[in-house]
Amino acid sequence: MSRIGKLPIAIPAGVTVTVKDNVVSVKGPKGELSQTIHSDLTVNVEDGHLTVSRPTDDREHRAQHGLYRSLIHNMVVGVSEGYKKEMELVGVGYRATSTGQVLELALGYSHAIYIKLPKEVKVEAKTERNKNPLIILESSDKQLLGQICAKIRSLRKPEPYKGKGIKFVGEVIRRKSGKTASAK
C-alpha cells in the first residue's frame, strides 16, 4: 500500500469537497479548485475526512494513488490557508515593481521585462533601503504558483560566482571561487 496514498486528508471547517464523475471539487474561503482524477481510483468523503483508494496493486494504480492523494491534499490546503512564495532579487540595479497583475522587472538587461500574471495569483513587490527587492506571490493553486515562480526565476537564474540573480528567500546558492592567479 502507498504510504502517502493511504493517509486520510482532514477537511478543515469552511471547506467543502464534492466528488462527481471523477472530478474532485474543493471550495473554501480562499477560492475554488477542481481536479480530474484517474477513473479507477475512488474518493470517499465521510465525517470530516477524505480517503483515496485503488482497486488493485498494479503498477499504474500504485503510481496514481499517491499522486492524486497529494494533489487533493494540496487543493484542500490551498483553499483553506493558501500558498505563499517569496523571491529575492540579488544584484546591483535589479528592481521589481507591481501594478495590478503586471510585474515589471529590471534585471540588468537593456530593457524592462513585463509579466502579466493570472488573476488567481496575488503579487506584491517590496523595495526597502539597503535590502534586496522582494517579490511576494500568493495563490490557492500550488501548481500554478510554482510554475509562475519557475518562469520568473528563469529570467535570471542565480549564478555561482557572484550570487546574482533571482532566488527564493532562504535558498542557499553554492558559491564557486572563480579564477585564481597562478604562482609561477
Other Cβ atoms within 10 Å of 41 Cβ, number: 19
Identify the pLDDT of residue 179. 84
Give the per-residue pLDDT at 126: 94
pLDDT in tens, 2-29: 688 889 999 999 999 999 989 999 999 9
CA terminus-to-terminus distance, the chain: 64
**Confidence (pTM):** 0.88
The tens digit of pLDDT for each residue in 156-180 reads: 999 999 989 999 999 998 999 888 7
**Locate cell 488573476: which residue?**
119
CA distances from 51 to 15, 46, 72, 171 (A): 16, 8, 10, 34
pLDDT value for 75: 95
**Cell numbers 484542500: residue:** 76
> Do residues 107 and 42 lie in contact, with contact meaning Cβ atoms separated by under 8 Å?
no
Query: Residue 64: helix, strand or coil by DSSP?
Result: helix
- Pairing status of strand 122-126 against strand 42-46: unpaired
Q: Which domains does the chain have, with CATH numbers?
A: 9-80 (3.90.930.12), 83-168 (3.90.930.12)
